[in-house]
Amino acid sequence: MEKSKLKNVILVILLVTNILLLGLMVTQRAESRHYRRQTLLDAVDLLAQQGIAVRAEDIPDWDFPAPQVLKQDAQGELTAFSALLGQDAVHAQRGLVSLYTGSLGAAEVRDDGTFSVTLAEGAYPLEGQDMRQHALAVLERMGVSAQITQVQDQVLTAVETWKGVPIFTCAMELRYEGGQLRAISGTRLTGLPAADPQAGEPLSTATLLVRFRAGVIKSGDACTAVLSAAQGYILTSDANRSGALTPVLRLETDTNLYIVNALTGELQRE
């Protein structure tokens, strides 16, 4: 057989092999999606049998965000509050509380991420801006990406995000008076997130729904419906680490808000 013909035969064999492998991959993915969907429906049926109504289409059934460990970033904190309070801001330490004072206001910051800021008169006027956009711009100024979750009169509630994923325990209130921002308080990230290979893989959404059901029964709580569900993070910490972002499933029921730890299945009220 001529070399050119042999070469063509080999190319055809390789092409057919690649097509077969691609078909096998597509089939496996389709089967995986079908199995995943079926297990979610089974979990929804199980909750229904216990008197807890859930609509499967309301449950996010995609991969959870990866666990993150927080690396301490003292310089980042100074940069953030200097940007908010003015580049003339000075830092002082009082026990476990960091104090920042500048021409635009003052802040108290604690190791657990909680903070409170009082802004000077005229520091951040609205000047005709939309209040939501103004609040997000001020938070971005101090290095915080966030989503506005509630507006009540002149008080906005924002939840910090990491790469677009909400961190449910990092919530902040921004208070406006007389057409200007006067105070910010709440909890923010305490360091720089980085992938945490030691944290393990999140459980499936179906498994977390079953754990939720078991936890509700064990606690003696009563609920008859899951109204909404969302994936996100909570900020956790221990004695040996500065903190971590743990993936969770947040469930709003007709009686309470619950957080299901996606790594352990542990249930807690928000």
Q: Domains in the chain and their CATH numbers?
A: 36-66+196-269 (no CATH), 72-192 (3.30.310)
The whole-number pLDDT of residue 222 equals 85
More confident residue, 20 or 163: 163
Confidence of residue 268 (pLDDT cuts 50, 70, 90): very high
Tell me: pLDDT of 158 over 70: yes
Indicate if the pLDDT at residue 1 is higher than 60: no
3-state SS assignment for residue 61:
coil
Token code pair at residue 70: 């927080």
pLDDT band at 149 (very low <50, low <70, confident <90, very high): very high
- Would you say residue 16 has pLDDT above 70? no
What is the mean pLDDT of the segment spanning 69-98? 90
Strand intervals (E) in the chain: 68-72, 90-94, 97-102, 105-110, 114-119, 146-152, 155-162, 165-177, 180-187, 191-195, 226-238, 241-253, 257-261, 267-269
Q: How confident is the model at residue 46 (pLDDT cuts 50, 70, 90)?
A: confident
Q: How confident is the model at residue 236 (pLDDT cuts 50, 70, 90)?
A: confident
- 13 pLDDT band, cuts 50/70/90, is low
| Mean pLDDT value of segment 33-40 | 68
| 198 backbone dihedrals φ, ψ, rounded to 5° | -90, -5
- 154: tokens are 């002149």
Per-residue pLDDT at 36 exceeds 70: no
Residue 74 has pLDDT above 80, yes or no: no
pLDDT given for residue 21 in this prediction:
61
Q: For the whole model, what pTM was predicted?
A: 0.82
Alpha carbons 223 and 120: distance in angstroms, whole number: 46
Number of other CB atoms surrounding residue 48 within 10 Å:
11
Beta-carbon contacts of 180 under 8 Å, excluding residues fewer than 6 positions away, are 119, 121, 122, 123, 124, 125, 126
Q: Using a pLDDT cut of 70, give the percent of the chain over it.
A: 84
Residues 6+ apart with CB under 8 A from 206: 36, 39, 40, 42, 43
| Mean pLDDT estimate for the chain | 87
